[in-house]
Amino acid sequence: MIDFNIIIGIIGMSLILIAFVLDEFYKEFNSNSIKYNMINIAGSGFLMFYAYTIKGWPFFILNSVWFITAIIKIIKLIKN
């Protein structure tokens, strides 16, 4: 049986990859869209949880920065 933490990691990875692929192939879906950044927040949040459970601190820091950056970007998009 697959461990719960692995499932969380796979979900997070999938979300980040979905956002990346959509950004590459659809002009309206890019880093200046709220949808793109929401998917990155969700994906990096799941990956932060996964990194914490496996004590992967570099991976945790990477996804924390990704998470915070996407939040800041959404705030800027909403203000404009």
Mean pLDDT on 45-52: 98
| Spatial separation of the C-alpha atoms in residues 8 and 47, rounded to whole Å | 7
Residue 8 has what pLDDT?
Answer: 97
Mean pLDDT on 14-35: 94
Would the pLDDT of 1 be above 80?
A: no
What 8-state DSSP symbol labels residue 22?
H
Q: Report which of 45, 25, 41 is spatially closest to residue 73, judged by C-alpha positions.
A: 41
Residue 80 has what pLDDT?
Answer: 86
pLDDT level of residue 28 (50, 70, 90 thresholds):
confident
Q: How many other C-beta atoms can be found within 10 angstroms of the C-beta atom of residue 41?
A: 20
pLDDT level of residue 59 (50, 70, 90 thresholds):
very high
Residue type (1 letter), 11: I
